[in-house]
Every structure is written in C-alpha cells, then in structure tokens.
Amino acid sequence: MRICGKRNQLTGRTVVPGSKSHTIRALLLATLAEGTSTIHNPLPSADCLSTAAAVPLMGSRVDLNLTTEGCPGTDWVVYGAGKKLHLPTDVINVGNSGSLLYFLSPIAATFEGYSIFTGDESIRKRPVDHVADVLNQMGASAEVSQPGSRFCPLVIKGPVSAKNTIRTEGSASSQYISGLMMAALRLKDEMHIELSDPTETPYLTMTQKWLEKIGAEVKISDDFKSISVKAPDEIKAFDCTIPSDWEAVAFPLVAALISDSDICIDNIDGSGTQGDDAIVGILKSLGADIEWNRETDTIRVRGGKKSAGGIGRLSTENLPGGELHVNLSGFPDAICALSAAACFTEGDTYIEDIAVCRRKETDRISVLKKELEKLGASVDEGSDFMVIHGHSPFKADGSPNPDFALHGAEIESYFDHRVAMALSVMSLGLPEGERIFVRNAECCSVSFPHFFEVMNEIGAGFEIS
C-alpha cells in the first residue's frame, strides 16, 4: 500500500491502541498460569496476533472473541496451560515480532527436547547469538541453523537450569533479558542475571511488575546490573487491562505539534512502566504546547497557530549550549518519532546511545538518515548516534524561516512500522503543495492497526495512491 500525505490540520479527540509490550507479556504469562485469564483492551496488532497464534503450540488456548467481521474483540480470554505447559509442538514462526522471539525462546528452553524459532525476512536478519549464548550458559544447546550466521532459524535443545549466574552484556536488547526473567517462572532455583551494559531498562521494570503481579519475587539493583527472580509456587490466572501504547501516542503527538492542530489523546498511561512517556518532557523542553491531565488520563496537544503563543515554534535555543541531547538507551523505539519532530525544530538535536536501533526491524539509524535526507533534512550519523540539524518553519517573530527546506518526496518504509508512521506524519507540516508518498505503508499494522484511518478521523487526510 502506497500512502500519500500532505499539509493538514488535526482537530478532535483520538485514542491510540493498547500497548504491544504489555499485551505480549500478558499473553505469555496467562499461558503459563493455571486457570482462565482475561485481557481487556489488548492490541490486535500483527505482533500480538503472532503471539496469540504461537502460545497454543505450548498448550494454552486463546479466544480472541472475533467479531462477525472476523476482527479480534476488545477482550481476549486465555485458557492457561499451567502445569500442562509443554515443548512447542511445531516450529514457532514469530512473524515480525522480535519481542515474541526473545521472550518465548528462553521459556521453550526450559523443556527437554528441541524447539525451533524462525520468522519473516526481517526477523531472519536480527541477531540471536546473544540469546544462544545465555541459554548455553544455562546448560542448553542453542545455535543458529546456518553455519556462520547470527540469525534465525534458532534451534534450542533444552532443558536449562538456573544453577549458574547468567552473565551477559544486555546492550543488544532488553527483550531477551525479559525472556530469561519469564523463563525463571518454570525453574526450581532462583535465577541470577548479571548485566555489564543494560539498556532499555524501563522495559525490565515493566517485566518486573508483571512478574510481581503473578507472585514472583524479583529484585533489580538500582543500576540494573543485577537481577534475581524466584518463581512462585503456582502462577494463578488474572484479569488485566492493557494501557495505551506510548510508542503509538508519539505519532499523533508529533503530527499535531508540526501542524496547526488542536487534539486530545485519551486513555494515556501514567503508570510510568513505559519509558517512551519521556517524549512529553523532551518535546516540552523545545517549547511544545502539551498539557497532560493525569486525573483524566488525557493529553492535549496544540501546534502552530493553535498553540498558546499562536506560532508553535519548536527550538533548542533555551537548552544548555543551544542544543538538545537525548539519551535513548532506555526507550530507543522513540527514535523515529523524535527524529520527525527534530526536523521541524530550530537547532541541533543529538539522539544518543542508540546502537541497539541498528538491530531493530531495520537499521533505523541509517534508514532514517537516508529517507529524511530525501525530504531535505540535514542528518549526521555515527555508530550509536544521530544529529539532526533542524529548522522551524517560522522565525521567533512568526515570520517564515527561509532556512526551512523540507519538501515532499517518495520514500521507503523498509517494512518498518515506526519508520512508516514517522515519515507519514511529517507530511502534515510541509509547505502547501508538497506531498510525501510512503511505500509499503501497510506495515503500520505491526503496532498500530488502522493507523491511517485513526489519523484521518481527526483530519490527517492520508490517501491511498
């Protein structure tokens, strides 16, 4: 699907989907539990549906409460496998979901026998050697199927044990660490993990809270370098409501700020378990007009002429050194939305400690540089950083800024959902007559089903071309 976007104004209220990170954790833990669990407001994205299709291979049953049109409902029921959980009965195809790959493979490794993990073309380019290494430390025999490769298919012969302390960097991703923490629920011994370079630490806290919810004892040091998990005697079924996904909130948020817009985003998650909520403070430091009402779980965003000052200019001028420096090690998925906003910000934005972004659905650092430059942006990249030399469409007095040079172009999504959404919303802030065409934009369904329809309900005007 090729999407066309152009300058437009947003108005009204919108709600973004539930969190992918929370939904996948809920499905996996409900599978491990004894009894029937209900998950309210799950995210019906491709990654979550891949998880719902995978866990029955280990003994649970998932009822998506499909509508008459065949769409997943708003309440999913998981009949947990509990003590009857078993080795996967088939190869597990995770689709495009790195979360599912890294979460479920350590759990599967707790069983005696072989399990095999693979996925789509993108997944088969994501490294799994760090997963194999920690499982081998635990007594498994884990390796990639193709000699000389670092990628899926991943073949695991279990079982593992938690008798030895697991030592790993943690810099490649937090996801396999969360997978180890969940696998600990099936082991007799208390699991001890030592990390030399932990990243994406808010997601480790998210996993901790989920495990504590079902009765596990979890300890994480202040620097996240030491983690221990002790399983409960029994994992009991639960009911839960999935909060909104901050990674999805970021896109209508940025879209409103770079256009003459006034919107409210409802059902905002204020729990602090999603590191991406830091984007609000980052954007406000640039002068963004954002009001977060924590009593009503609502964010109001006003951009351009609709902002409090009537200009809506984003700038780094009031920051130390006149530059924005953001360390994204805790929430690297924000790179796409933040890069889009930085292109409309007067001043230099340094996005730092993002080496992990090269190992996501795409190499997001190089992909964003290439595609943003097609739109007229000035971008530098390093091994673990990006610098965006941005310009606001307006000077401080509200007059047009001659240095603002963004324009339309035909761009590639690389089948990366967050790249597609970020580049699409940039079209709303372009000069009149300019258009952005995004190829293979259907990939947005991985984390934000019906993204373009939802945005069009508040005036985005995206068209299939």
On whether the CB atoms of residues 65 and 72 are closer than 8 A, the answer is yes
Q: Which of 441, 451, 464 is nearest to 250 (CA)?
A: 451
Report the Cα 116 to chain-centroid distance in Å. 25
Mean pLDDT of 17-42: 96
| Rounded Cα gap, residues 324 and 282, in angstroms | 9
pLDDT band of residue 239 (cuts 50, 70, 90) is: very high
Amino acid at 68: T
Classify each residue of 275-301 as buried b or exposed e, where b means 16 or more C-beta atoms within 10 Å of its C-beta.
Answer: bbbbbbebbeebbbbbebeeeeeebeb
- Please give the structure tokens belonging to residue 84: 């009857």
Q: Taking Cα atoms as reference points, which of 208, 204, 225, 226 lies closest to residue 217?
A: 208
Q: What is the largest CA-CA distance in the chain?
A: 69
Q: Give every CB contact of residue 305 below 8 A, 6+ residues apart in sequence.
A: 260, 311, 312
Helix%, strand%, coil% for the chain, nearest 5: 35, 25, 40
- Helix locations, 161-297, DSSP H: 175-183, 201-213, 246-257, 279-285
CA 92/CA 116 separation, integer angstroms: 6
The strand pairing partners of 54, in sequence order, are none
Contacts (Cβ under 8 Å, ≥6 apart) of 392? 313, 314, 315, 344, 345, 346, 401, 404
CA distances, 233 to each of 105, 180, 187, 217 (Å): 22, 18, 11, 11
61-63 and 75-79 strand pairing: antiparallel
Q: What angle do CA 435, 415, 5 make, to 5 degrees?
A: 15
CA distance 67 to 86: 30
pLDDT at 68 over 90: no
What gap in Å lies between CA 140 and CA 164, rounded to an integer? 12
Q: What is the share, in percent, of the chain residues with pLDDT greater than 90?
A: 92
pLDDT digits (tens, 9 = 90+) for 329-383: 989 999 999 999 999 999 999 999 999 999 888 999 999 999 999 999 999 999 9
Residue with tokens 């650092």: 365
Query: pTM of this prediction?
Result: 0.83
What secondary structure letter does DSSP report for 460? -
Residue/partner pairs of 141-149 with CB below 8 Å, 24 or more apart? 142/109, 145/116
Parallel/antiparallel/unpaired status of strands 113-118 and 154-158:
antiparallel
Q: Rounded CA gap, 51 and 42, in Å?
A: 12
272 confidence band (pLDDT: 50, 70, 90): confident
* Strand 345-352 with 314-315, pairing: parallel
**Residue 137 parent element (H or E):** helix 129-137
Which residue bears the tokens 């007229």? 376
Q: Name the residues annotated as catalytic.
A: 333
The tens digit of pLDDT for each residue in 382-434 reads 999 999 999 999 999 999 999 999 999 999 999 999 999 999 999 999 999 99
Name the token pair of 345.
């910000």
31 pLDDT more than 90: yes
Mean pLDDT of the chain: 96
pLDDT at 248: 92
